[in-house]
Amino acid sequence: MRSPTAAQMAAEWFDVDVDFAGLSRDADEHFTREHLEWADLVVVMERRQSKRMTSLMGALPKSTRLACLSIPDQFQFMQPELIALLRQKLPAILTKASLRA
Protein backbone atom coordinates (compact mmCIF):
# COMPACT_ATOMS: atom_id res chain seq x y z
CA MET A 1 0.00 0.00 0.00
CA ARG A 2 3.07 2.24 0.14
CA SER A 3 3.44 2.59 -3.60
CA PRO A 4 -0.15 3.53 -4.43
CA THR A 5 -0.08 6.08 -1.62
CA ALA A 6 3.23 7.53 -2.81
CA ALA A 7 1.99 7.65 -6.41
CA GLN A 8 -1.16 9.49 -5.44
CA MET A 9 0.75 11.93 -3.25
CA ALA A 10 3.42 12.62 -5.91
CA ALA A 11 0.74 13.28 -8.53
CA GLU A 12 -1.15 15.66 -6.25
CA TRP A 13 1.79 17.49 -4.64
CA PHE A 14 4.12 17.75 -7.64
CA ASP A 15 1.77 17.48 -10.63
CA VAL A 16 3.82 14.69 -12.23
CA ASP A 17 2.76 11.69 -14.27
CA VAL A 18 3.05 8.59 -12.10
CA ASP A 19 2.47 4.88 -12.23
CA PHE A 20 3.14 2.11 -9.76
CA ALA A 21 3.75 -1.60 -10.00
CA GLY A 22 4.99 -4.37 -7.76
CA LEU A 23 7.83 -6.85 -7.87
CA SER A 24 6.14 -9.58 -5.85
CA ARG A 25 4.19 -12.44 -7.38
CA ASP A 26 0.97 -11.29 -5.73
CA ALA A 27 1.16 -7.71 -7.04
CA ASP A 28 -1.95 -6.47 -8.82
CA GLU A 29 0.21 -4.75 -11.42
CA HIS A 30 3.59 -6.36 -12.15
CA PHE A 31 6.64 -4.20 -12.85
CA THR A 32 7.79 -4.63 -16.45
CA ARG A 33 10.52 -3.41 -18.78
CA GLU A 34 7.91 -1.05 -20.25
CA HIS A 35 7.68 0.68 -16.87
CA LEU A 36 11.44 1.23 -16.96
CA GLU A 37 11.36 2.58 -20.49
CA TRP A 38 8.47 4.94 -19.66
CA ALA A 39 9.89 6.33 -16.42
CA ASP A 40 12.42 9.10 -15.92
CA LEU A 41 12.61 8.12 -12.26
CA VAL A 42 11.85 4.81 -10.53
CA VAL A 43 11.27 5.07 -6.79
CA VAL A 44 11.44 1.98 -4.61
CA MET A 45 10.48 1.74 -0.97
CA GLU A 46 13.38 -0.48 0.20
CA ARG A 47 16.92 -1.15 -1.03
CA ARG A 48 16.18 -4.84 -1.45
CA GLN A 49 13.56 -3.85 -4.05
CA SER A 50 16.15 -2.06 -6.17
CA LYS A 51 18.32 -5.20 -6.11
CA ARG A 52 15.36 -7.39 -7.02
CA MET A 53 14.34 -5.04 -9.81
CA THR A 54 17.77 -5.06 -11.42
CA SER A 55 18.02 -8.85 -11.08
CA LEU A 56 14.67 -9.24 -12.86
CA MET A 57 15.00 -6.43 -15.42
CA GLY A 58 18.72 -6.03 -15.93
CA ALA A 59 20.39 -2.66 -16.13
CA LEU A 60 18.30 0.48 -16.04
CA PRO A 61 18.04 2.52 -19.24
CA LYS A 62 20.58 5.35 -19.13
CA SER A 63 17.80 7.94 -19.00
CA THR A 64 16.11 6.33 -15.96
CA ARG A 65 17.16 7.22 -12.43
CA LEU A 66 16.54 5.10 -9.35
CA ALA A 67 15.79 6.38 -5.84
CA CYS A 68 14.96 4.65 -2.58
CA LEU A 69 12.64 6.10 0.05
CA SER A 70 13.63 3.60 2.79
CA ILE A 71 10.06 3.15 4.01
CA PRO A 72 9.30 -0.23 5.66
CA ASP A 73 6.32 -2.36 4.66
CA GLN A 74 4.15 -1.66 7.68
CA PHE A 75 1.57 0.84 6.46
CA GLN A 76 -1.93 0.81 5.04
CA PHE A 77 -3.11 2.86 2.07
CA MET A 78 -3.16 6.59 2.96
CA GLN A 79 -2.21 5.88 6.58
CA PRO A 80 -1.35 9.24 8.22
CA GLU A 81 2.09 8.02 9.38
CA LEU A 82 2.92 6.96 5.82
CA ILE A 83 1.78 10.30 4.44
CA ALA A 84 3.96 12.06 7.02
CA LEU A 85 7.01 10.05 5.87
CA LEU A 86 6.22 10.78 2.24
CA ARG A 87 5.93 14.51 3.01
CA GLN A 88 9.48 14.31 4.39
CA LYS A 89 11.05 12.13 1.70
CA LEU A 90 9.34 12.77 -1.64
CA PRO A 91 10.33 16.43 -2.04
CA ALA A 92 14.03 15.61 -1.69
CA ILE A 93 13.83 12.72 -4.17
CA LEU A 94 11.82 14.64 -6.75
CA THR A 95 13.91 17.80 -6.39
CA LYS A 96 17.16 15.86 -6.85
CA ALA A 97 15.66 14.08 -9.86
CA SER A 98 14.56 17.32 -11.50
CA LEU A 99 17.99 18.89 -10.94
CA ARG A 100 19.64 16.06 -12.91
CA ALA A 101 17.15 16.19 -15.79
Please compute the mean of the pLDDT values over residues 64-80 and round it to a whole number: 95
Q: With beta carbons less than 8 A apart as the criterion, state whether 16 and 38 touch.
A: no
Please compute the mean of the pLDDT values over residues 78-85 and round it to a whole number: 97
pLDDT at 99: 44
CA dist., res. 80 & res. 17, Å (int): 23
pTM score, two decimals? 0.85
Cβ neighbors of 97 (< 8 A, separation 6 or more) are 40, 41, 65, 67
pLDDT at 98: 55
Q: Where are the domains of the chain?
A: 2-94
CA dist., res. 76 & res. 78, Å (int): 6
State pLDDT tens for residues 13-54.
Answer: 988 899 999 998 888 889 999 998 899 999 999 999 999 998
CA dist., res. 88 & res. 46, Å (int): 16
Q: 44 has which bridge partners?
A: 68
Over 90: is that where the pLDDT of 70 sits? yes
